[in-house]
Structure 1
């Protein structure tokens, strides 16, 4: 189906569709494909590079993106454009209703041709009422921290109400992760870490995002309404 760029596109359930293409994977290919589980929708989001996977992790933890689709559509350019077409990497609907088109590109590969392509994409997105965002490599410390936390992001690591209240009380005035985990579970401190990491991922515990996470990291409870569950 072909649609002219315009505000009517805002009404289409694009994010509920299927990727317009899926790349081929073969042995020893530099870009490794995979899928990332998006818990808010229960769907697996396809990616075709480690950078795309890293950007999905950042978007997931940020909490703004509600629904997301990889390779959502193909943009065909007009007006004597230098480029003919482009397949954006992701299309997302945020929690506030905004619709965003994401392109992922290593900073070192932002050539003039790529910039022209993205400028044309941004022009089309503006006509449709979408935002266009180009994502590069995440900050190294942020990426390392999210890699450390991501295994605990799922609902299986969500603490029950009693444990959640206990962790909230322990970190209410600010406390290191090492000390806090021992206060939560004095007999087996390691068993408290998945719950603590889960609450950091979902921003129920606040840490300094510019510092590498370790047991000396200070975490502080972020007050939340009782009905505001951190994960689905």
Structure 2
């Protein structure tokens, strides 16, 4: 299960790989609502998969109100049969005016780091407006996590850790997710949040 904060509900995931992909969708910030295995697509007589059905892994509603379907499958497990199924599902999505994406995994270190950031994604970890401004100012030219926390919370630097994490999760701070995280990890202020586009 993955807690989808925007709807205050849990999204069921069939595997850890699916849960990681949902984590990336959440981080991207473009999907407002997400449903797990929402329905079956029964392929008609004109389809090479006629007589078969497919349950897409997820249905998402984007922040602009549009919809899209998502399937998760590691690249190494996508065989010809799966490619055909995904192609036919994309055709159905196109007919409905929906987007479609096959999610095939991310760098494992980046996913692990994102998992760490996600622990602080909840509103309870948000800093006050004053603290947020101080963190953004401290990171304007790039600062280590240790330096930022010591600067904005000198009496208790660990208190600022969740503030830094939640700001990175919401893309207010830029951090290289592919690097090993430590107290020396450098964060910089993000003038504009990355799009993290979902095609």
Superposition deviation, residue 171 in structure 1? 1.3
The answer on whether the counterparts of 2:75 and 2:104 sit within 8 Å (CA) in structure 1 is yes
Q: Shift in Å at residue 98 of structure 1?
A: 3.0
Q: Aligned pairs, how many? A: 190
Give TM-score, length-normalised by structure 1. 0.77
Q: What is the rounded CA distance, in whole Å, between the counterparts of 2:190 and 2:77 in structure 1?
A: 39
Provide closer, same or farther for how the CA distance between residues 209 and 98 of structure 1 changes in structure 2, counting only shifts above 3 A.
Answer: farther
| 1:81 correspondence with 2:48 | yes
In structure 2, stretches of 5+ residues that fail to align are 193-199
User: CA separation in 2, counterparts of 1:80 and 1:151?
Assistant: 44
Using structure 2 for the length normalisation, give the TM-score: 0.90
Deviations along 1:14-45, one digit per CA (max 9) or x if unpaired, are xxxxxxxxxxxxxxxxxxxxx11111111111
- Aligned mate of 2:135, from 167, 175, 191: 167
SS at match of 1:47: coil
The structure-2 alpha-carbon separation of the partners of 1:211 and 1:162, relative to structure 1 and needing over 3 Å to count, comes to same
Which residue does the alignment assign to 2:77?
109
Are 2:199 and 1:213 equivalent residues in the alignment? Answer: no
Distance in structure 2 (CA, Å) of the matches to 1:48 and 1:188: 40
Shift of the alpha carbon at 1:96?
2.5
RMSD: 1.5
